[in-house]
Amino acid sequence: MHTIDYLREALPRHPELRETLELHIALLEVRATVDPPAPPSLPLGVAETRLAQGEPLLNAVTLTPNWNDLARIFTGICNAAAAHRPDEADALRELAKLADNPDELREAITEHLANRAHPVRRPASAVPGGATLLDFTLNQTLHPFLSAYARAWQSLASRETWYRSWCPICGGPADMAALLPAGGARQLLCARCDAEWQAPRGACPFCSETRPGHLGYIASQDGAYRLYTCDTCRRYLKTIDLRELARPVQLPAERILTVGMDLMAISSGYQSV
């Protein structure tokens, strides 16, 4: 099931999340208007070398989207978010002007993928974790393009070639995880491209902390959800335990349906990606 259908079906069951779900459904509708071309093939030897060196397969230099499509999606994301976030509508409309300056938009994308601060970043209190509006809109805009690479290149990164804390496709951080039914291995979900990969459960997925007493988790009453925390980097990771569920799960949709866990973590002093 596609993420947008999963969220539409969830609406009647989660009236308390109506505003959040309607926002993300609108954003998904904008993202669905672009059909990125298939990424170029990546020679197996090149992929193996990059992964062995701890380098993701994709970076800002090798990303070659249709920039007209990207600018159109960026504008659409800003407008859709403004329609659902009236308190930040003015800031979002101002941000949308980036699409009129291709060089500045490319610079913002390069900085975003490299996790460096860009001058036009501004606070966005409505975005869980204190992310900025630029982070939020660029993440939504880039998703169709990055996820195309993830679908094409996912098979190149197996547990034997990649067992690290960051995404093997785009280098992004995880913002959701699942404990797999067979043995409870940790499967991470990239916040940028939705690639999935396995990483150690006994280490923080952000700073690699492993010392006892620095890592913890809080489980939901039914045991299906866990909020993992790290007191070293003050980050958190939402996790769904598939061993406790009989229903099918769509991880990209679960990151939205678990927004309450974000608020709980943030109120306790932890930060998202």
The DSSP result for 122-141, as a single string, is -B-TTSGGG-BHHHHHHHHH
How many distinct structural domains can be found in the chain?
A: 1
Tell me the per-residue pLDDT of 115-129, one tens digit each, with 9 for 90 and over.
Answer: 654 454 444 444 444
Determine how many CB atoms are found less than 10 A away from the CB of residue 38: 9
259 inside domain:
yes
Asked whether residue 100 carries a pLDDT value surpassing 70, the answer given is yes
Contact 189, 252 (CB under 8 A): yes
Contact at 8 Å (CB) between 231 and 204? no
Which pLDDT score, from 0 to 100, does residue 126 have? Answer: 42
Q: Residue 9 belongs to a domain with what CATH number?
A: 3.90.1670.10
Handedness of CA 23, 253, 215, 160 (dihedral sign): negative
Would you state the pLDDT for residue 124?
Answer: 44
Write the pLDDT tens digit of every residue in 258-272: 999 999 999 999 988
Rounded Cα distance between 22 and 251, Å, is: 18
- pLDDT above 90 (res 245): no
- Chain segment 72-95, per-residue pLDDT in tens: 999 999 999 999 999 999 999 999
What tokens appear for 184 in the block? Answer: 């409870």
Is 37 a domain residue? yes
CA angle 151, 154, 160 (to 5 degrees): 170
Task: Decide if 256 contacts 7 (C-beta within 8 A).
Answer: yes
Residues contacting residue 105 through CB under 8 Å, at least 6 positions apart: 67, 70, 71, 74, 98, 99
Pick left, alpha or beta for residue 212 (phi over 0 → left; psi -120 to 50 → alpha; otherwise beta).
beta
The verdict on residue 199 lying in a domain is yes
Per the CB < 8 A criterion, the answer to whether 141 and 73 are in contact is yes
d(Cα 170, Cα 190) in Å, to the nearest integer?
Answer: 8
Q: How far apart are CA 239 and CA 200, in angstroms?
A: 14
Residue 127 lies in a domain: yes
> Residue 91: inside a domain, yes or no?
yes
Q: Is there a domain that residue 138 lies in?
A: yes
Please check the confidence at residue 174 and state whether its pLDDT lies above 70: yes
Tell me the DSSP string of 242-273.
Answer: GGG--S---HHHHHHHTHHHHHHHHHTT-B--
Question: Can you tell me the mean pLDDT for 97-107?
Answer: 90
Whole-number pLDDT of residue 116: 55
| Displacement of CA 16 from its chain's centroid (Å) | 23
Q: Which has more confidence, 246 or 250?
A: 250
State how far the Cα of 58 lies from the Cα of 150, in Å rounded to an integer.
Answer: 9
Give the pair of three-digit tokens for residue 194. Answer: 């939705």
Residue 82's domain comprises: 3-267
Residue 272 is assigned to a structural domain of this protein? no
Residue 241 lies in a domain: yes
